[in-house]
Structure 1
Amino acid sequence: MGHGASSLSCFSLHHVSQAEKREEELSEFDLEPALHNFLDMNLSSLYISPTDFTATLPDECLNTVFQKLSTGDRNRCSLVCKSWHAVEAQGRQCLALIANAEIMSYLPSIFTRFDHISKLALRGDRKVEGISDDALFLIGRYCTNLSKLKIKACKQITDEGIDLFVRVSGGTLRKLSCVSCNFGSRGINSIVEHCSVLEDLTIKRLRGMVDGPSDFIGPGQGTIRRLCLKELSKAQLFGPLIAGSKNLHTLMICRNSGNWDKLLDIITEHVQGLVELHIEKLQISDRGLQAVSRCSHLEVLYVVRTRDCTNIGLSAIAEGCKKLRKLHVDGWSPDFTGDEGLAALAMKCRELQEVVLIGINATTVSLDLLASNCLNLERLAICNTESVGDVELSCIAAKCGALRKLCIRGCAISDQGMRVLAHGCPQLMKVKVKKCKGITWQSAAWLQRHRPPLVLSLDCEVPEISSTPRVAEVVSDDASNVTSIPPTPRSPLAAMKLALAAGGSFVACNRRWRASSQGS
């Protein structure tokens, strides 16, 4: 042992001495010339030329690339070099600004750089002072190509500021949206008078018309094709503007005060080419719907939460508006029984493609007519009615051959009713079932097993883990409704995976379980 230890010690000392000698030799050797020679010989292929190959790229091509980028990436690319900075500015057509008061001093430099802006959004802050009339005038002076403008929560803008702005740049303005502003009817009259090509006008929560006397909004140039009036206390002052817009295509009047029966009578007498109409939370009755029935070219109709409308009004719509393609009816009144009016619509409006019924007490009588006569019906939603159950769902599945999307919400359907969708509606792609107490997630699993391509969305509860065995209801493959079996205790995820083992696509909205046909 002693001899071995001494040999090991000598071996170690010998190598240590050799290492020290090698270190002294390396310290005396100059590595710098050798390193330069190595880089010259082996790294010449990695030499990067200072030539900018994008310099020969046409500005149009570079601008096309910039348009494919997100806003953040585009802003960063504009700082790469002077040429990119100039090309990006020339190609920028859309701009959104936080319209606070301190931005006024920067407006000349902003619009000197972005001199091709055609779409501009000015968003104010309720807690901070916004831009003034002078700033709005500067914007109109610099933006000579402005075609779309959105002004939101700019409280410091008055009628005088709007008048100055439209006199400067109103000749090119085609779309204007004013939300939560403080100017009134004088400013709106200036807009419709000086904007000679204005086609789209949206007015929401215009506080300048709340207090004090207000003037009627005149017809102006008569070029408006889309008009949206929401949450206005004196929206009826827009009557002359609506009646004078002979080319009006879309009218949206939502949550406005006052009785609209007489006004709708006047409007439809002058404007009969209306194609799309949205009525929401207005004080109208069947008389108002009878006035709407004059619009023989109407294709899209929303009647939402109108308390005084009944089946009489719906029947009048069916007689006059036979070109309807999209119909949304929210029966917020107990008198809106629905079956009679829906049956009239089904017999007369045979071009319907989308129907949404909320609170309408439809039965197999009207649903059978709807499925038999409207052969192009692709989207159907029935919500918040106890009259629709398994029998009505069976009628839909048997006769709606073109149906692609179905939504059932708050109805009296059960697992047995879900089984009929396995072989009905051959074009069906998506089904949503919400707030239906008779539906369990086991029926969804059964449906996915028999129809894997179907996308199903439910909000039913997934069973929780329990220490004691519980009885689970699952839909059987035979003619019986349900069979009770004692399951083995599993976690909710394991239970869901087991139920979806046959494939398909399933969404349980309450817990957001998802399984694709490949994954399961």
Structure 2
Amino acid sequence: MISLRCPNLIRLKLRGCRELTDLGMAMFAKNCRGLKKLSCGSCSFGVRGMNAVLDNCYALEELSVKRLRGITDGAAAEPIGPGVAAASLRSICLKELYNGQCFGPLIVGSKNLKTLRVFRCAGDWDMLMEAITEMVTGLVEIHMERVQVSDRGLAAISNCSELEILHLVKTPDCTNMGVVSIAERCKLLRKLHIDGWKTNRIGDEGLVVIAQGCVKLQELVLIGVNPTCLSLGLLGANCPNLERVALCGSESIGDEELSCIASKFVALKKLCIKGCPVSDHGMEALAEGCPNLVKVKVKKCKFVTAEGADFLRARRGPVTVNLDTDAMEPLDASTSDGGVDTGAYNDPVDGQVPVVVNLPSSSNGRSSMSKARLGFLVGRNFVACTFRRS
């Protein structure tokens, strides 16, 4: 059982805490009510431990959860939240949870939530997204990766008129119809990432409406999607702030499409082409267009040679050109590589130096605290605690 009294603790990262029970988490939560950021992965506590955090940590702003081992039955799992933390939560990330939908009451109750990320969580998310967006209309960023969501869920997401960032990664039930509903109502969209998983259910039809409705678009990533000059031309003409574009695994992106990009994408600064049937002729077209271009990445495009890359460099000296012909590298659009947290937990805040606490987990049943080694750095009210398995 972990008993850690850190009344000034504001950031906590838990990893592989096999001995951390609901009771231990409840005791911890009562001693650390001012906690603002919590990231936990592969821990043994369950619903009661999580609810204890939500009932006590009134200042919680960011919550990231990956593989909670204490919640074993998705159908019978008790609801999690909302608790007092719902009023302060701004960001929720759920990853690799068989029963992630038991967090529904927390998400629905978090009226001030701005960011929702759901990665590889089982269950039908359409109805839950309808319940969420009916109550939480201020969402600015939504990531859905390998979850069961369809056009019905996208129609619900379109109720978030303040949405600026949308990632749809490997959601095969989403089609042009759902993308159209987003385009028609989410006028503030700045970043759109779509991995169509080569299902050909999202293409020109949806992208044309995106070009017409989302004129503030700055970043577009299309993977396994096959746009043509029709949608690309409209995107270039109607989205004057479109600065970053990535086209990966798109069978329709050839030299003609690159010529369209070169002539229409005036604001473009960074372009990534990966696994597309473009050639050196496309590189020549880029050399004559995109006046603001500063960086080009070309990967796994077998018809682009070193000579084509050199030609682009010679004609556009300031432009950085990276050519990678490694055919072994997979085309993967996963946005969750590297885990739930973003590494921000180790950054000092307001010039303060973090206090780092390492609590190795015991492998022979003895208390973790009896083996803990505490290393302290000077700090006032900022503490970063990492629980690592020895």
TM-score (norm 1): 0.61
Give CA-to-partner distance per residue, 1:71-124, whole Å, 9 cap, x none: xxxxxxxxxxxxxxxxxxxxxxxxxxxxxxxxxxxxxxxxxxxxxxxxxxxxxx
Q: Is the 8 A contact 1:249 1:274 kept in 2?
A: yes
Q: What's 2:7 paired with?
A: 144
User: Please, which of 307, 326, 332 is the counterpart of residue 191 of structure 2?
Assistant: 326
Asked if 2 retains the 8 angstrom alpha-carbon contact of 1:308 and 1:333, the reply is no
Aligned to 2:32: 169
Residue in 2 that maps onto 1:10 = none
Are the structure 2 counterparts of residues 419 and 319 from structure 1 closer, same or farther at C-alpha, using a change threshold of 3 Å?
A: same
State the Cα RMSD in Å. 1.2
Aligned equivalents of 1:214, 1:314: Cα separation in 2 = 33
1:367 and 1:182 map into 2 onto residues whose CA distance is 49
Aligned residues: 323
**Aligned partners of 2:309 and 2:230: how far apart in 1?**
28
Q: Is 1:192 equivalent to 2:54 in the alignment? A: yes
Residue 214 of structure 1 aligns with which residue?
A: 77
Equivalent residue number for residue 249 of structure 1: 114
Aligned-partner Cα distance in 1 for 2:236–2:308: 25
Distance verdict in 2 for CA 1:333–1:267, change over 3 Å: farther
1:235 aligned to 2:100? yes
Deviation at residue 396 of structure 1 after TM alignment = 0.6
Structure with the bigger RCO (C-alpha within 8 Å, sep 6+) is: 2
Match for residue 431 of structure 1?
Answer: 296
Is the 2:195–2:225 contact (alpha carbons within 8 Å) kept by the matching residues of 1? yes
The answer to whether the 8 A contact 1:441-1:460 is kept is no
Q: What amino acid is aligned across from residue 255 of structure 1 in structure 2?
A: R
Distance 1:238 1:444 in 2: 49
Q: Which amino acid aligns with 2:48?
A: R
Tell me the residue number matched to 1:369: 234
Q: Give the corresponding residue for 1:284.
A: 149
1:403-440 CA distance string (max 9 Å, x none): 11000111111111110111211110000011111111
Aligned to 2:77, the other structure's residue is in SS state: coil
Aligned partner of 2:80: which letter?
I
**Could you report, residue by residue, the CA deviation over 1:153-191 in whole angstroms, capped at 9, with x for unpaired residues?**
010000000001111122x10111111101111111111
Mapping for residues 120-519 of structure 1, pairs under 5 Å: 133=1, 136-137=2-3, 139=4, 141=5, 143-170=6-33, 172-211=34-73, 213-221=76-84, 222=86, 223-332=88-197, 334-460=199-325
Tell me the CA shift for residue 211 of structure 1: 4.5
Contact 1:184 1:214 in 2 (8 A): no
Q: Which amino acid aligns with 1:431?
A: V
Q: 1:264 to 1:423 in 2, by over 3 A?
A: same
**Where do 1:108-123 residues align within 5 Å?**
none
Per-residue deviation, residues 243-262 of structure 1 (Å, max 9, x unmatched): 00000010001100001011
d(CA) in 2 for partners of 1:406, 1:259: 35
AA in 1 matched with 2:11: K
Name the CA distance, whole Å, in 1 between partners of 2:325 and 2:114.
42
Q: CA deviation at 1:279?
A: 0.4
1:147 partner letter:
I
For the 8 Å contact 1:339–1:360, the answer to whether it is kept is no
Paired amino acid for 1:206: L
Deviation (angstroms), 1:150: 0.6
Tell me if the contact between 2:125 and 2:148 (Cα under 8 Å) persists in the aligned partners.
yes
Query: Separation in 2 of the partners of 1:370 and 1:153?
Result: 45
User: Partners of 2:177 and 2:200 in 1: how far apart?
Assistant: 10
Gaps of 5+ in 2: 327-390
SS in 1 for 2:43: coil
Matched to 1:192, the amino acid is L
1:335 CA displacement: 3.9
Q: SS where residue 276 of structure 2 aligns? A: strand
Tell me the distance in 2 between the aligned counterparts of 1:384 and 1:169.
47
Whether the aligned pair in 1 keeps the contact of 2:73 and 2:99 (CA below 8 Å) is no
- Asked if the contact 2:174/2:202 (under 8 Å) is kept, the reply is no
CA distance in 2, matches of 1:146, 1:423: 55
Please tell me the residue identity of whatever aligns with 2:64.
T
Q: In 1, Cα distance between the equivalents of 2:73 and 2:153?
A: 28
Deviations 1:284-312 (A, max 9, x none): 11101111000000000000000111100
Shift of 1:333: 5.0
Q: Distance in 1 between matches of 2:149 and 2:17?
A: 33
**Percent identical across equivalent pairs?**
55
Amino acid at match of 1:148: R
Do the aligned partners of 2:200 and 2:225 also contact (CA within 8 Å) in 1?
no
Q: Report the CA distance shift for 1:335/1:443 in structure 2 as closer, same or farther (over 3 A).
A: closer
Q: Deviations over 1:212-261 (max 9, x none)?
A: 84210121112211000000011100111000000001000110000101
Question: How far apart in 2 are the matches of 1:243 and 1:270?
Answer: 6
- When you count helix as a share of all residues, which structure comes out higher? 1
* Structure with bigger gyration radius: 1
Letter in 1 for 2:154: L
SS at match of 1:242: helix
Measure, in 2, the Cα distance between the counterparts of 1:459 and 1:214: 47
Aligned AA for 1:393? L
Q: What CA distance in whole angstroms lies between the structure 2 residues aligned with 1:442 and 1:186?
A: 62
What SS is found at the alignment partner of 2:18?
coil
Q: In structure 2, do the counterparts of structure 1 residues 414 and 146 end up closer, same or farther at CA, with 3 Å as the change threshold?
A: same
Partner Cα separation in structure 2 for residue 450 and residue 202 of structure 1: 47
